[in-house]
Structure 1
Amino acid sequence: MDSAVCAVCSTGLYDTEQQTCRPCTERVAANLTALAGPEGLYARLSASLHPGSRTGGPAVSGSRTAPLPVRLEVLNAMTERGPVLGPLEGWVRDWEQYGRATVDEAGTLQQRLDHAVGTLRFNLAWAAGQHPAFADFADELWTITRRCRTAAGEEKPPVKVPVACRCGQILRISLDMDGIECRHCRAEYGHAEMLKLTPARRVAA
Structure 2
Amino acid sequence: MCTICHRDLAADETARYACRYCTERVDRQLLELAGPRGLYARLGARLAPGSGSGGPAVSGSRTAPVPLRLDVLNLLTAGGPVLGPLETWVRDWEARGRAEMDEAGTLQQRVNHACATLRFNLEWAVTNHPAFDEFAREIHLMHRQCTVHVAGEKPPRAIPVTCPCGAVLRVGLDTPGVRCYGCQTQYGHSEVLRLPMAERRAAA
**TM-score, structure 1 as length reference:** 0.74
Which residue type is aligned with residue 127 of structure 1? A
Residues 101 and 119 in structure 1, CA contact (< 8 A), matched pair in contact too: yes
Q: For 1:76 and 1:195, how far apart are their aligned partners in 2?
A: 26
1:10 aligns with 2:10: no
Q: 1:46 aligns with which of 38, 44, 47?
A: 44
1:26 aligned partner: 24
Which residue type is aligned with residue 8 of structure 1? I
2:165 aligned partner: none
Please list, as runs of the form range in 1=range in 2, the aligned pairs for 1:46-85 lying within 5 A after superposition: 46-54=44-52, 56-61=53-58, 64-85=62-83
1:146 aligned partner: 144
CA pair 59-137 structure 1, distance change in 2 beyond 3 A:
same
Q: For 1:143 and 1:49, how far apart are their aligned partners in 2?
A: 20
After the TM superposition, list the runs of 4 or more consecutive aligned residues in structure 1 that deviate by more than 6 angstroms: none
1:107 aligns with 2:144: no
1:199 aligned partner: none
Q: For 2:19 and 2:175, how far apart are their aligned partners in 1?
A: 23
Identity across matched positions, percent: 58
CA pair 108-178 structure 1, distance change in 2 beyond 3 A:
closer
Q: For 1:191 and 1:137, how far apart are their aligned partners in 2?
A: 13
Q: Which has the larger radius of gyration?
A: 1
Residues 146 and 155 in structure 1, CA contact (< 8 A), matched pair in contact too: no
Deviations 1:125-166 (A, max 9, x none): 1111211100000001111111111232444776xxxxxxxx
**TM-score, structure 2 as length reference:** 0.74
Count of aligned pairs between the two proteins: 169
CA pair 178-117 structure 1, distance change in 2 beyond 3 A:
closer
1:58 deviates by 3.8
1:36 deviates by 0.2
1:93 aligns with 2:91: yes
- List gaps (5 residues or longer) in structure 1: 159-173, 180-188, 197-205
- List gaps (5 residues or longer) in structure 2: 157-171, 178-186, 195-204
